A and B are shown apart, each in its own frame.
Chain A
């Protein structure tokens, strides 16, 4: 078979492009639904906290329950509809273990540090969750998760320091808004 250097270059470029597009589409399929869902959960729960600061526990109990159940449904739906892996069930359990470990550590740190202000607790949990985003982004080579994790961490610190009296509303708009917008963008642009 006779292939010119230009044809070889075109073929290699085509391979790179297909591979990159496919990985991105799979990342979009896996992440976009979760990001949009948790963006809405953050917006709803933080708005509820802003309007009823004495009911933050209830707001987050409801929000986390909706988010947890929704994430499980999205996870099963997206993995089955595009790619099927022999490791699907193991990976699902690994993700669950990862998040449960993080919540366990957050619980221990809260008990040790005993933050008194509910805004402190909220900022602490948000940055801990974003830390997990950064770790997952580095682990799965998903740079958008790293950027998103760092950006929302910076916004959380900024809001806590600059607008403490409007912190919950700030977090609903910037934290929830960033998660939802990132999910929507990935869903539209990367498929």
Chain B
């Protein structure tokens, strides 16, 4: 049976992972776009990205476009698997609840 992931289950990180899992494998999201979509502050999003990066679930890349710094975020294969497993665990809870 799939297990819940404590790193992903935190509400902000759950939303970050949901957003990153929604895009294609070869795509990376711009930090500011992600921040605006999730209605977070720079600091709040940054702190949760660090946690997810430490778990190996996401990759954060910094680069320059001209003189402007740009941060890109993408989900890793490990992160995609962990997120899928977490969603399955949540669905399993609902399924078992429906049976009782």
**Is there a chain B Cβ closer than 8 Å to A23's Cβ?**
yes
Kindly identify, within residues 1 to 58 of chain B, every residue whose CB is under 8 Å from any CB belonging to chain A: 4, 6, 9, 11, 14-15, 18-19, 21-24, 26-30, 33, 37-38
> What residue of chain A has the Cβ atom nearest to residue B33's Cβ?
A82
Fill in one digit per residue for B67-100: 1 if any A CB lies within 8 Å of its CB, else 0: 0000010000000000000010011011001000
A14 x B29 contact (CB < 8 A): no
Given contacts A8-B90, A12-B90, contact A19 B19 (CB under 8 A): yes
The A-B contact count (CB < 8 A) is 76
A116 at the interface (CB under 8 A from B): no
Instruction: Find chain B residues with CB under 8 A from A1 CB.
Output: 4, 6, 9
A80 to B70, CA, bound (A): 10
A5 and B4 form a contact (CB under 8 A): no
For residue B26, which residues in chain A have a CB less than 8 angstroms away from its CB? 85-87
A-chain residues with CB within 8 Å of residue B65 when the two chains form the complex:
80
Which residues on the A side are within 8 Å of B94 (C-beta)?
A: 5, 8-9, 12
Q: A18 touches which one: B28, B38, B87 (CB < 8 A)?
A: B38
Structural contact, B15 and A14, CB atoms closer than 8 A: yes
Contact partner, A19, options B4, B22, B28, Cβ 8 Å: B22
A190 to chain B minimum Cβ distance, whole angstroms, is 11
Contact A83 B23 (CB under 8 A): yes
Which parts of A1-35 form the interface with B (CB within 8 Å)? 1, 3-5, 8-9, 11-12, 14-15, 18-19, 21-23, 25-26
- For the residues of A in contact with B, the DSSP-based class is helix
Chain A residues, Cβ within 8 Å of B9: 1, 3, 11
| Number of chain B residues close to chain A: CB under 8 A | 28
Instruction: Tell whether, in the assembled complex, residue A18 and residue B30 are in contact, meaning their CB atoms are under 8 Å apart.
Output: no
A14 touching B18, Cβ below 8 Å: yes
| Alpha-carbon separation in the docked complex, A171 to B65 (Å) | 41
Tell me which residues across on chain B come within 8 A of A4, comparing CB atoms. 93
Question: CA A84 – CA B26 in complex, angstroms?
Answer: 8
Q: Are A26 and B87 in contact (CB under 8 A)?
A: no
The complex places the Cα of A80 from the Cα of B38 at a distance, in Å, of 19
How distant is the Cα of A131 from the Cα of B15 in the complex, in angstroms? Answer: 37
At the interface, yes or no: A81 with Cβ under 8 Å from chain B? Answer: yes
A82 to B4 CA separation, bound complex (whole angstroms):
30
Q: Name the contact of B87 in the complex, choosing from A9, A15, A22, A87 (C-beta under 8 A).
A: A15
Structural contact, B14 and A8, CB atoms closer than 8 A: no
**Contact in complex: B93, A18 (CB < 8 Å):** no
A18 contacts across to B, CB distance below 8 A: 15, 18-19, 22, 37-38
A-B pairs with beta carbons under 8 Å apart, 5 shown: A11-B14, A14-B15, A84-B27, A84-B28, A85-B27
By a beta-carbon cutoff of 8 Å, the part of chain A in contact with chain B is: 1, 3-5, 8-9, 11-12, 14-15, 18-19, 21-23, 25-26, 80-87
